[in-house]
Amino acid sequence: MKTESQDNVCEEAVFSSLFKSNSKTVFNYIYYKFGNEEKAYDAVQEAFLKLWENCAKVSPEKAKSYVYTVANNLYLNVIKAEKVRLKYADKTLNSTNESPEFLMEENQFKQKLDQALASLPENQRTVFLLNRIDGKKYAEIAEMEGVSVKAIEKRMHLALKTLREQIDGV
């Protein structure tokens, strides 16, 4: 009985923990793709609502990829990608001993990085940011995107390469 109830997404506790561990990533995932916070927020709601409605049919192991798929399909071909705006955690504030020149240089670099990120193809940007911001492993991203780990590695490699080329102005 106990295992059965744990196996069911319809259980409030199971559903709640699934939401807690995945909603932020679903949100970011959609945001990285389309650059629209509102749509990303809606996608989270929609995806988890769908999961709740189909809780009897979706096993907890499948639930994760289920919500990513739903969220992704929601805006597939519907909305045009907008410019992705990201913030930087102000870690530099603590290190005030840096020279102004260094800080300025760093800011310039960040601006370049921003531009480079915005111009990245959507799938490369998504992979790169999921890895860098959300700390997702390649395997996890592969599961979300429904492709092989190798394909994710390829995208990651290309993302880094393109970013470097953009920043160095090659």
Partner 1 sequence: MQENYLAKWLNNELSEEELAEFKKSDEYTTYRKILEASGTLEGPDFNMDQAFTALKNKRELETPKVVQLHPFRKFLRVAAAIAVLMVTSYFYLNSLDENVSTQFAENKEVVLPDNSEIVLNADSEISYSEKAWDKERNIALRGEAFFKVAKGKRFTVSTDGGTVAVLGTQFNVENRNGFFEVTCYEGLVSVTFNGKETKLPAGDSFLAINGKIAKGKVVDISYPSWMSDESSFKSIPLQYVLDEFERQHNITVETKNIDLNQLYTGTFSNTNADLALQSISVPSQIKFKLEGNKVLFYAENAP
Q: Which of 130, 70, 158, 126 is nearest to 150 (CA)?
A: 158
Contact between 142 and 130 (Cβ < 8 Å): no
Residue with tokens 């996608």: 43
Closest approach, Cβ 119 to partner 1, in A, equals 14
Site size toward partner 1 (CB under 8 A) is: 48
- Give the binding range for partner 1 (CB under 8 A) out of 65-73, 75-83, 95-103, 158-166: 158-166
Give me the least distance between CB of 3 and partner 1, in Å please. Answer: 25
Q: How far apart are the first and last CA of the chain?
A: 63
143: contact with partner 1 by CB under 8 A: no
Site string for partner 1, 69-108 (x = CB under 8 A): ----------------xxxxx-xx-------------x--
Residue 69 · residue 76 · CB < 8 Å: no
Of the candidates 169, 163, 83, which has an alpha carbon nearest to the alpha carbon of residue 118?
Answer: 83
Say if CB 59 and CB 161 are below 8 A apart.
Answer: no
Give the residues lining the site for partner 1 (CB under 8 A). 16, 19-20, 23-24, 27-28, 31-32, 37, 40-41, 44-45, 48-49, 52-53, 85-89, 91-92, 106, 109-110, 113, 128-129, 131-134, 138, 150, 152-154, 156-157, 160-161, 163-164, 167-168
